[in-house]
Amino acid sequence: MAKGTKSAAKRAFKMYIDGKWVDSEDGGTFDVVSPASGQVLGSFPKGTADDAKAAVEAAVRAQDAARTMPIKERARLGVRIAEEIHRNIKEYAVDCSLEHGKPLRESIAEVEDAIPNIQWQVEDLKRWDSPAQEGFSKENVLYMSLHEPLGTVVTITPWNFPWVLPAEFVVQAMLAGNSVVFKPASNTPISAVHLMECIDKARVPPGIINMVTGPGGEVGTTLVEHPLVDGIGFTGETTTGLDIAKRAGLKKLTLELGGLGPLIIMDDAKVEPAVEDIAFGCFTTTGHCCVANERIFVHEEIHDKVVKALVDRVKKMRVGFPLDAETDMGPINNRSTLLKVERHVADAVKRGAKVVAGGKRVPGMPTDLYYYPTVVDDVPPEALFNTAETFGPTAPILRFSDLDEAIEMANAPRYGLSMAIHTANLRVAMEAAKRLKAGQICINEPVYSWDYFNPWGGFRNSGLGRIAGRWSLDAFSELKTVMFNVGRSPWPD
Ligand code: NDP
């Protein structure tokens, strides 16, 4: 038995509706299996359309309580949730590693990251100002715009960051004055239950935050289509985002979708930091990241040096069980992603690319989901690596000869979440920053970068709207203008 699996004895988890831990209305369940050990970690209620509706109804009943809660009290709840997370970081991180597959130190960093994420929003809530202006068309009129909660917000999250992504949506929607229904990914719901435990212990009033587990095709679609839902915060694949946009009607949408981020290495870049950033951005969390370096464009003048240093670096990485301290990279989270990675590698090789590191599953592991960190060189632009998100532990290298060519390749697939360039030349960096079409441009940093306060979101196929810091509060609210005709108020005698 692999190390750490003792703590993974099967547990029975529940959903959280109207302040109570409940089973599915028809008693159905599904198992969550660890990609790291192959063990069943727990059984979950397989929520139905009726469960989803019950959660929305509970949230709608709680709308007034959420809307009228003083900002001071909302802030206090946010702080208490963050404190509850802080109490059990290690325990939550172990579960996160077992259900996701990422190394324990990455899970610890992820759970820890949820805390400042929430605290930041609390501080932004305290300073959440809105415009006021004197009239232009009418004299003596004062306009004041007030933030108004949407009402009931649905948040749907993916499996790749089971703590950070819910922590960007669920608590924030409540802080903005909404009631919330949260549907986590079916591959990683244990972390979601832990977040709900923290919300419960923080004494968030019943119905204000609810969680329903179960398939996206039933629970997710029911929530998205529900006529009493006012807003949706979704993170996931572009194809799912498109489906949600079609079903949602005129609900306020915030969609955080797929990446395909390019990292451009110019001929004047320093090799060592560039290679460090390639390794970090391709292999952290097994490459399961919307802001992974999905495509590495290397200037032909520096190409051989970069590839040699990268291969040396990658060959030192240890693939292993996520709870082992020496593990650098764990397994791929699920079979469909593993098969996609294999498909993209085979496609590139068929088109003339060369696998220079990895390129196969790791034998002798507890499951067959372990895959070597992989470098594929001389990938042609028409390869799948350059047109569709791989979402796995791969560094596909494409050559280019000048900045125009790199920018054209970067923008071509119409994804635009995060893009990066390494160069010593500030003028080149700013030229790229202006011409690359993405929500974030990283200069001398990997594509894989973010902070708690930057307006986060994509251009084109990478999404709609912005989150993080005050932008999440804006995403989950409307602006309502109140106009006063001050001139019509009598002047006291
Ligand atoms: P999916 O789109 O497959 O699933 C995301 C969530 O949506 C899950 O909870 C899923 O439920 C649910 N879902 C599935 N189908 C529907 C539907 N028709 N209606 C409503 N909900 C549905 O994404 P993945 O989980 O595979 O996540 C990986 C993707 O997320 C990548 O493309 C990645 O780039 C993107 N992502 C984007 C980020 C960003 O900030 N832009 C951040 C992180 C990831 P179930 O699990 O039950 O299927």
The answer to whether the CB of 472 is under 6 A from ligand 1 is no
Q: What is the pLDDT of residues 265-296, one digit of tens each?
A: 999 999 999 999 999 999 999 999 999 999 99
Name which residue leads in pLDDT, 492 or 119: 119
For residue 333, give both structure tokens.
């989270």
Cα–Cα distance, 342 to 371 (Å, whole number): 9
* Residue 319: pLDDT over 50: yes
Share of the chain above pLDDT 90, in %: 95
Is the beta carbon of 216 within 6 A of some atom in ligand 1?
yes
pLDDT one-digit tens code per residue, 95-135 = 999 999 999 999 999 999 999 999 999 999 999 999 999 99
Distance CA 55, CA 51 (A): 6
CB of 465 sitting under 6 A from ligand 1: no
Rg (the chain; Cα; Å): 24
183: Cβ below 6 Å to ligand 1?
yes
Domains and CATH numbers, the chain: 11-257+462-479 (3.40.605.10), 262-443 (3.40.309.10)
352-407 confidence digits (pLDDT tens): 999 999 999 999 999 999 999 999 999 999 999 999 999 999 999 999 999 999 99
pLDDT at 261: 97
**241 C-alpha to ligand 1 centroid (Å):** 8
**How many CB atoms are closer than 10 A to CB 146?**
13
For the cut 80, the answer to whether the pLDDT of residue 8 exceeds it is: no
Q: State residue 94's pLDDT score.
A: 98
Of all protein residues, whose CA lies closest to atom 22 belonging to ligand 1? 216
Q: For position 492, what pLDDT does the model report?
A: 80
Cβ atoms 191, 157 nearer than 8 A: no
Asked if pLDDT for residue 443 goes beyond 50, the answer is yes
pLDDT in tens, 189-216: 999 999 999 999 999 999 999 999 999 9
Backbone angles phi, psi at 425, to 5 degrees: -105, 115
Q: Give the residue, by CA position, lying nearest to ligand 1 atom 13.
A: 216
**221: Cβ below 6 Å to ligand 1?**
yes
> Quick one: pLDDT band at residue 5, thresholds 50, 70, 90?
very low
Backbone angles phi, psi at 9, to 5 degrees: -60, 145
**What's the 174 CA to ligand 1 centre distance in angstroms?**
21
CB of 259 within 6 A of ligand 1: the answer is yes
What mean pLDDT is predicted for residues 309-317? 97
- Is residue 251 in contact with ligand 1, taking CB distance under 6 Å? no
Q: Mean per-residue pLDDT for 66-77?
A: 98
Ligand 1, residue 337: give the atom nearest the CA: 26
Cβ(389) – ligand 1 distance below 6 Å: yes
- Whether ligand 1 lies within 6 angstroms of the CB of 290 is answered as yes
> Tens digits of per-residue pLDDT, 138-191?
999 999 999 999 999 999 999 999 999 998 899 999 999 999 999 999 999 999
pLDDT at residue 10 in the model: 67
Ligand 1, closest atom to CA 256? 41
- Which protein residue's CA is at the shortest distance from atom 42 of ligand 1? 290
- Answer yes or no: is pLDDT of 252 > 50: yes
DSSP type of residue 387: T
Between 265 and 3, residue with greater pLDDT: 265
- What would the mean pLDDT of 1-21 be, rounded to a whole number? 71
The structure tokens 């719901």 sit at 189
The answer to whether 106 is a known catalytic residue is no
Which one of the listed residues 290, 389, 442, 445 is annotated catalytic? Answer: 290
User: Kind and range of the H or E element at 194?
Assistant: helix 189-201
CA-closest candidate to residue 436, choices 423, 420, 455: 420
Q: Is 290 a catalytic residue?
A: yes
Statement: residue 88 has pLDDT above 60: yes
Complete DSSP assignment for 334-402: -HHHHHHHHHHHHHHHHTT-EEEE--SBPTTSSSTT-B--EEEES--TTSGGGTS---SSEEEEEEESS
Residue 219 DSSP symbol: I
Ligand 1 atom 35, closest CA: 236
What is the band of 1 on the pLDDT scale with cuts at 50, 70, 90? very low
Q: Which whole number is the average pLDDT over 57-80?
A: 98
Tokens 């796995």, residue?
A: 392
* Test site for ligand 1: of 48, 237, 253, most ligand atoms within 8 A of the Cβ: 237
pLDDT for 222 beyond 80: yes
- Spot the catalytic one: 99, 106, 168, 256: 256
Is 50 exceeded by the pLDDT of residue 7?
A: no
User: Residue 490: pLDDT above 90?
Assistant: no
Q: How many helical (H) and strand (E) elements, i.e. helices and strands, does the chain have?
A: 15, 23
Distance 162 CA to ligand 1 centre (A): 11
Ligand 1 pocket member 324 (CB < 6 A): no
Per-residue pLDDT at 9: 58
With a cut of 80, say whether residue 454 has pLDDT above it.
yes
Q: 484 C-alpha vs ligand 1 centroid, how far in Å?
A: 45
Six token digits for residue 202:
């923080």
Cα–Cα nearest to 157, from 131, 127, 186: 186
List 254's β-bridge partners, or say none. Answer: 233
